[in-house]
Amino acid sequence: MLGGEGRRQPLVWERAASLNFSLFFPWFGLDIGGTLVKLVYFEPKDITAEEEEEEVENLKSIRKYLTSNVAYGSTGIRDVHLELKDLTLCGRKGNLHFIRFPTHDMPAFIQMGSEKHFSSLHTTLCATGGGAYKFEQDFRTMGDLQLCKLDELDCLIKGVLYIDSVGFNGRSECYYFENPTDAERCQKLPFNLENPYPLLLVNIGSGVSILAVYSKENYKRVTGTSLGGGTFFGLCCLLTGCSTFEEALEMASHGDSTKVDKLVRDIYGGDYERFGLPGWAVASSFGNMMSKEKRESVSKEDLARATLVTITNNIGSIARMCALNENINRVVFVGNFLRINTISMRLLAYALDYWSKGQLKALFLEHEGYFGAVGALLELLGSA
């Protein structure tokens, strides 16, 4: 079953299927980022008895291990809620699983691959992200594995277009917030990205990349910023002593950034009409922290919230400027910074809408950070 009704048919993978070329399992796509490793795994559900018979022990063990667990070791997690069911890929039906673990656990992952004799399987491991380069040597020496390194941005775009085309188990992959400027009436609604071009793709990982996409093959990296998810998490660790991204977000959700930031109204007593600035706008992030008394009166939660708001607003601001410069009005935000981060998503939706006077629309995708890995998997299948 291929996504929802009225959807475009996938192309590359369709072609592969028509070739009726039997690819060796397992099918993996790997995206090794600065902070997180994203792994997608296609679990075939149409295995014939004959195949089952032939399936080597290693392969079976990998399949069982990945599909029967939701956590791997102390840090690996399978995002069960993202699983795509009954997908047809290269003529095979199955489920697509989404798994992530911290990049610093990469050596353990390679070790595991080595122990499970991954190299004896007749497959290629397609990987993208900076880590594909960084760990290439380790894969070779420790795991006896030859990585197929893939371009990060190619994979990202392929992944986004594919997942959007197949949909999210019958639901829409893409969504937006209606009435983002009205807290009461703001609600998440599906968005039909049928004619996606042109779009501005903002990928927020540890850092941020911004791409202008004009067609599947025609895209360019517009700019990037080093103020990304890594900055939020890094500063939170320093400011609050937290140790996980989830913890940082949890703190942020209980904090009040206006105690930390200096707002326009703190300076002008209200709106700054000369420049059309509303009183609630942040004039200086962390600006109140110039004062000793105020430094002593804020909580860790307030600091975490201010950090989140600062980073998010800044990304929104840069994205908005890029959209204007490129004359694009749809901005799609992806990347793991947005995972379980409704605060940032709403803020981005709000900021884009408000500062562009409704001209720009912020869009989001359910599979936030996994598109690079999906793209890597598609490359594996497409190149076969």
**Distance between CA atoms of residues 183 and 205, nearest Å:** 27
Indicate which single residue of 77, 321, 329, 384 sits in contact with other proteins (rule: CB under 8 A): 321
- Residue 369 as a binder of other proteins (CB under 8 A): the answer is no
Size of the site for other proteins (CB under 8 A): 64
Identify which of 383, 348, 379 has the alpha carbon closest to the alpha carbon of residue 154: 379
Q: Which of 318, 331 has the CB closer to other proteins?
A: 318
Indicate which single residue of 13, 28, 98, 286 sits in contact with other proteins (rule: CB under 8 A): 286
Residues 61-100 that bind other proteins (CB under 8 A): none
Dmax of the chain from CA atoms? 77
- Residue 196 as a binder of other proteins (CB under 8 A): the answer is no
* Residue 15: CB minimum distance to other proteins, A: 29
Annotated active-site residue 194? The verdict is no
Strand partners of residue 28? 41
Helical (H) or strand (E) element with 54:
helix 49-54
54, 115, 152, 368: the active-site residue? 152
* Residue 19: CB minimum distance to other proteins, A: 32
- Residue 185 as a binder of other proteins (CB under 8 A): the answer is no
Q: Which of 61, 137 has the CB closer to other proteins?
A: 137
Indicate which single residue of 25, 135, 162, 177 sits in contact with other proteins (rule: CB under 8 A): 135
For residue 331 the two structure tokens come to 């901005």
* Residue 259: CB minimum distance to other proteins, A: 12
- Residue 198 as a binder of other proteins (CB under 8 A): the answer is no
**Distance between CA atoms of residues 249 and 178, nearest Å:** 23
Specify whether the CB–CB gap between 20 and 56 falls below 8 A.
no
Specify whether the CB–CB gap between 172 and 364 falls below 8 A.
no
Q: Which of 20, 226 has the CB closer to other proteins?
A: 226
Q: Which of 71, 238 has the CB closer to other proteins?
A: 238
Indicate which single residue of 312, 313, 341, 344 sits in contact with other proteins (rule: CB under 8 A): 313
- Residue 131 as a binder of other proteins (CB under 8 A): the answer is yes
- Residue 340 as a binder of other proteins (CB under 8 A): the answer is no
* Residue 72: CB minimum distance to other proteins, A: 21
Burial call 231-252: b when 16+ CB within 10 Å, e when fewer: bbbebbeebbebeebebbbebb
Helices (H), 190-241: 229-240
Q: Which of 165, 312 has the CB closer to other proteins?
A: 312
Q: Which residues does 11 contact at the CB level (< 8 Å), separation at least 6?
A: none
Helical (H) or strand (E) element with 7:
none
The CA-atom distances, in angstroms, between 346 and each of 189, 237, 256, 367 are 12, 23, 16, 17
Torsion, Cα of 227, 229, 231, 232 (10° steps): 120
Residues composing the chain: 384
Q: Which of 21, 280 has the CB closer to other proteins?
A: 280
Residues 220-259 that bind other proteins (CB under 8 A): 223, 225-231, 233-235, 237-239, 241-243
- The DSSP line for 95-126 is EEEEEEEEGGGHHHHHHHHHHTTGGGSS--EE
Q: Determine the 3-state secondary structure of 76 from DSSP.
A: strand
Q: Which of 179, 317 has the CB closer to other proteins?
A: 317
Residues acting as catalytic residues: 152
Give the residues lining the site for other proteins (CB under 8 A): 33-35, 129-131, 133-137, 205-207, 223, 225-231, 233-235, 237-239, 241-243, 260-262, 266-269, 274-277, 281-290, 292, 295, 303, 310, 313-314, 317-318, 321-322, 324-325
